[in-house]
Structure 1
């Protein structure tokens, strides 16, 4: 690291702090300003913010570990979440924006009976806003620790103290507005750094460009985007189970079935329903189709320079043995970059860290304030007090995450912990908008059962049970459990359900009984055709074709497979065309929408 490198590394955190200070006055006007920036955000800014947030410092490490231990195809462990993301974009984003709530946890007091809904809301505020949030931030901080150890020889506590404090100050000052504005800058920097790293790694004589990389015997067997189905156990674990079960059944931060957490925060902050849908769709495309290949290229190249863990340990003898892992190979590859570019790439990773942690802090603090403090400590809290408590919660969350980071060992470990604890809850999150019978008791049971099952699978399950079998078993047990609780407990009060329908106007047959009951009781509920559900569901396969084909087309083009790339891009174009034709129908439920009906056209 030369002077120019240090200058670049310091520049972008300083820029983030400046943005936070510049918007701090506006952010502190009220809790809605601090946590949602007045609900007037455009889709492109919110989408870029989501991409920056999930462009975490641990993501390149996670992708590197997957590629090194299972090839490119192992990325299906996270690529498989795309169906959940596009379903959120085309179906749930409109519903979230209609709710007009401050945090997604307010959904519980909107959808369920007051007493049980309130209990659930409080439980989730602490369970997600504190426990899950701290675990997620700890995983990201662990990545920063590993990068700091390799790049500058920093001790873990030094990384936590410097980066953590800088991010904490930026987040507490600027609130949500500061986060999303800085995210736009940080995303550009982070993406530029990732591309620069891949470019210069490929230029190394040991690698020999894309052609040399693809033909190297250590790399060639790992290039396929599909697993080897001759090895059925691996194919099931990284492809079949993720695509068949994982995406709809597992709660995972940023990929929650039906949306939630900081994704819901962006949808709630959008100007209107169009901007809400547009933000999530832009996020899905950039997250899955645009970003992965620079990381994958560096990960593949690391197999040439650092073929095993021993080679990494020999190259970095001063790094603590506790942090040596395959995920460290990404940072190891960065040490070969030239001065200036090295600083840009390290700065991009620092930017990625700050973006992710700032979002997690603001989102978690919004839970603590809106869903715990105002409801249970001081219901009469002024806007100034709510902002003050939010800033204190931000500090506390950062401290807890920093401490926990010292006890984690690798990126995949945290990923698997989050998958295990959220297994089996996803289907409930999808259905609660469309089926009146789901109640607060069912949702509370789902969280308790999934956590208990995750603990049992970790400590009591036989050692020969594979991760995929454990996941499927956990999903089955949890799903049966919450369904049983649904039918064994009292339904939500009709009046609460009437109010929910009045505000959200949820489509589908799952609310027929409530609408019929409302007619008998003389309650006036919305009766619009609300055709957007059919249109939204039709957009889902089109979006999957657009994004997956773009992802694979870019990969094929990079490795010189021009014919395959053209086929992929043709499929992507068809998917994009279908979305373009269906788009108006998502927001004009009263229109006749003739374009796909020959009878109506005639």
Structure 2
């Protein structure tokens, strides 16, 4: 129907990049590499901004249904075109999607096992699969629900449920950040508390790695800046699918612009060096990482734990329906 408003399409794209493994990945990067390690995902902004001002309009102009269909439009009938289509279908549709689903499912399994305090005992046994525990049952139910409503509602049903799930996910994320801030600030100076209670140095709060050394971090930074973002330039997969469903070329551009604003606005305060509040913002990033690595007891009956479980579940289902669609 190509009738999606830019706001709905853009928000759906944001929601698909926000999955159950996102908190674990962000926390892991912060804990291991500090704030400068987040160039792993911040570097993609350069390529995706190019998509906003050039490729988004062109994608909508093709009137295709998917990026695979664009191959048919772009190239004349030949064996090479057929091989390219088959390769794209296999690599993007099978290999990459299986890797994505495996990563988000593993993250979801780890999270619900801890938060819900589920027993690891075998519930029943299946041939060729083995023992099935409660975590596997919950993941199967969530996956089946995502498959069911994706098949029944189509792209538009997925997109509008993405909007609802994104609101829930962002509400939970902001609330969790506020809780972490208040918890870390109870002991007084937040920066001092951070450096004293963790093994990290205050240089972990630097936005850029130290250029005075020839460390691997500097080399990795330049790889991100000059090489890693290239593949993000034209857009593909679920990005393109939503751009092609917008009402007009203008909506396509605005949708991807809105996605970039939502995706990277959280990283903008990390770049400033002028205000102490920015250091506090960065420290909250690290403190979340510290809490995920520390073996602390979870109050599973608290409202906070229940809300955290709910918004993480929405992350997982959103990613599942996007990959399936």
| The two structures share one fold, judged by TM-score above 0.5 | yes
Alpha-carbon contact 1:202-1:210 (below 8 Å) kept: no
Alignment match, 2:189? 212
1:71-97, CA deviations, whole angstroms, 9 ceiling, x for partnerless residues? 011000110000110101110011111
Query: Residue 247 in 1 paired to residue 225 in 2?
Result: no
Label 1:112 to 1:341 Cα distance change in 2 as closer, same or farther (>3 A): same
CA contact (8 A) 1:190 1:345 kept: no
Measure, in 1, the Cα distance between the counterparts of 2:301 and 2:213: 41
Distance 1:270 1:40 in 2: 5
Is residue 25 of structure 2 the alignment partner of residue 62 of structure 1?
yes
In the other structure, the counterpart of 2:67 is 104
Structure 1 residue 230 displacement after superposition: 2.6
* 1:288 aligned residue: 264
In structure 1, how many angstroms separate the alpha carbons of the residues matched to 2:15 and 2:187? Answer: 27
The aligned residue for residue 229 of structure 1 is 211
Provide the residue aligned with 2:286 in structure 1. Answer: 300
Tell me how far 1:260 sits from its aligned partner.
Answer: 0.8
Q: Deviations over 1:390-409 (max 9, x none)?
A: xxxxxxxxxxxxxxxxxxxx
**C-alpha distance 108-209 of structure 1, shift in aligned 2 (>3 A):** farther
Pair 1:60–1:359, CA change in 2 (3 A) = same
Q: Among 307, 318, 321, which residue is 1:344 paired with?
A: 307
Match of 2:160 in 1: 181
Matches within 5 A, 1:38-57: 38-57=1-20
Whole-angstrom distance in 2 between the partners of 1:110 and 1:117: 10
**CA apart distance, 1:297:** 5.6
Task: Give distance in 1, aligned partners of 2:60 and 2:303.
Answer: 44
Query: Per-residue CA shift, 1:493-540, capped at 9, x if unaligned?
Result: xxxxxxxxxxxxxxxxxxxxxxxxxxxxxxxxxxxxxxxxxxxxxxxx
Aligned pair in 2 of structure 1 residues 189, 292: CA closer, same or farther (>3 Å)?
farther
**2:174: which partner in 1?**
195
TM-score, normalised via structure 1 length: 0.46
Q: Which has the higher contact order (CA 8 A, sep 6+)?
A: 2
Residue 87 of structure 1 pairs with residue 50 of structure 2: yes
Quote the offset at 1:295 in angstroms: 10
> Where in structure 2 are the equivalents of 1:372-411 lying within 5 Å?
none
Deviations 1:414-455 (A, max 9, x none): xxxxxxxxxxxxxxxxxxxxxxxxxxxxxxxxxxxxxxxxxx
Instruction: Give 1:137 shift.
Output: 1.5
Output the TM-score relative to the length of structure 2: 0.83
**Per-residue Cα deviation, 1:290-330 (whole angstroms, up to 9, x for no partner):** 37989966552246557xx6x53xx57xxxxxxxxxxxxxx
Q: How far apart are 1:212 and its partner, in Å? A: 3.5
Query: Which residue in the other structure is 1:269 paired with?
Result: 245
2:291 & 2:63 partners in 1: Cα distance?
53
Q: CA deviation at 1:193?
A: 0.2
Moved over 6 A (4+): 291-296
Residue ranges of structure 1 left out of the alignment (5+ in a row): 1-37, 317-334, 363-602
Residue of 29, 35, 39 corresponding to 1:72: 35
Structure 1 residue 337: Cα displacement = 8.4
Match of 1:141 in 2: 105
Q: Aligned partners of 1:166, 1:158: CA distance in 2, in Å?
A: 12
Aligned-residue CA RMSD in angstroms? Answer: 2.5
Q: CA deviation at 1:236?
A: 2.7
Which of 145, 155, 172 pairs up with 2:151?
172
Distance 1:229 1:143, change over 3 A: same
Aligned counterparts of 1:351 and 1:210: Cα–Cα separation in 2: 33
Deviation digits for residues 228-247 of structure 1, max 9, x if unmatched?
22332234344211001111
Query: Secondary structure of 2:229's match?
Result: helix
Residues 204-245 of structure 1 show CA distances to partners (whole Å, capped at 9, x for unaligned) of: 2xx225963322213533211111223322343442110011
SS of corresponding position for 2:85: helix
Q: Distance in 2 between matches of 1:171 and 1:153?
A: 30
